[in-house]
Amino acid sequence: MIKSVITDLDGTFLNSQGDYDRALFAEVSAMMTAKGVQFATCTGTGRLCQNRRL
């Protein structure tokens, strides 16, 4: 059973333009929420940069 999904931002979750597919993420996020799976990001660029991107 998956309890959480943690992803790096740069080059993993975010594309080369520093963006992500918001419609796809909303769909996947809804599925994770329905199953009780938590989602988190991690990055080496700092929290301020992380907040601005999401």
Strand, helix or coil for residue 13 = coil
Tokens of 31: 């599925």
First to last CA, the chain: 27
Q: Does 6 have pLDDT greater than 60?
A: yes
| Res. 50 pLDDT band, cuts 50 70 90 | low
Q: What is the pLDDT of residue 51?
A: 56
Tokens of 47: 């929290």
**Torsions phi, psi of 22, nearest 5?**
-65, -40
**Count of positions (residues) in the chain:** 54
Q: How many domains does the chain have?
A: 1
Enumerate long-range contacts of 27-32, CB under 8 Å, 24 or more apart.
32/5
Question: Is the model more confident about 50 or about 9?
Answer: 9
> Using one digit for the tens of pLDDT, what is the confidence trace for 19-28?
899 999 999 9
Q: Does 49 have pLDDT greater than 70?
A: no
Contact 20, 14 (CB under 8 A): yes
Look up the domain containing 40 and give its range.
Answer: 4-53
Q: Over the chain, what is the mean pLDDT?
A: 85
